[in-house]
Amino acid sequence: MKIHLVTLFPGMFQGVFTESILGRAQDAGILEIRIVDLREYGLGSHRVVDDAPYGGGGGMILKPEPIAMALEGIEDPGHVILTSPRGRPFRQADARRLSGLEAITLICGHYEGVDERVSELFVNEELSIGDYVLTGGELPAMVIADAVARLIPGALGHDTTQSGDSHYDGLLEYPHYTRPREFRGREVPPVLLSGNHEQIRDWRARQALRKTREARPDLLEKSPGGDNDGKGD
């Protein structure tokens, strides 16, 4: 899979995509990430990429020409996404959907916004990672790229699974424990030490439901297990 990122601040991505799972996926040839410096496509000797908005108002707007040239310079941009506070909320289902594509391109919004004609002419969808405003679209692009890349077959390795992750089946993840058995007066739940895998699966399912009810009750409306009481240790 190829992930292209169009950004005014390529330095923000240094290190992010060379470590851990993303770094290993690239080394294995499973994933290719390319950072496209939007400033290289700026206009004139000063490489201008923004201008004041028509109709007045504060802030600057990213011009359409540099973004168009940057996208046209990518051999296969694939599915084009603009990170934007007005975008549809990014969900795990989106990560699964996008991970099945051969190529995606993330345009990192900045300043007051992006000329609307970019969305009209080039963008397949706009995505947001939350109901808040950041200084730019670089952080959302990193989040989306990470969530998508880890779902590419082989990216997690043979000894790692996604099936227990939060949001994998619509619920939050159950609690995890490791050694020591007792830590500052807190004991590992006995069921996890029992060796009874059926009981452990049942405990984890009930705990996932309990955690979801406490932190994200809105998810239960969509979960097939939402009618379970989720009680018990």
Residue 126 annotated to the active site: no
Residue 63 token pair: 């011009």
Tell me which of 24, 85, 94, 126 is the catalytic residue: 85
Tell me which of 66, 115, 138, 150 is the catalytic residue: 150
2-13 as b/e, with b when 16 or more CB fall inside 10 Å? Answer: bbbbbbbbbebb
Tell me which of 165, 187, 202, 214 is the catalytic residue: 165
Residue 124 token pair: 């397949």
- In 3D, which of 8, 43, 12, 4 has the Cα closest to residue 139? 12
Q: 20-27 and 138-149 helices cross at what angle (nearest 10)?
A: 60
Residue 202 annotated to the active site: no
Note whether 114 and 61 are within 8 A (CB). yes
The upper half-sphere exposure of residue 110, i.e. CA atoms within 13 Å in the direction of its Cβ, equals 20
Residue 165 annotated to the active site: yes
Place of tokens 């984890």: 204
Q: First-to-last CA distance in the chain?
A: 42
Tell me which of 112, 146, 169, 173 is the catalytic residue: 112
Residue 85 annotated to the active site: yes
Q: 92-99 and 138-149 helices cross at what angle (nearest 10)?
A: 70
- In 3D, which of 168, 167, 166, 228 has the Cα closest to residue 203? 228
Residues annotated as part of the active site: 85, 112, 150, 165
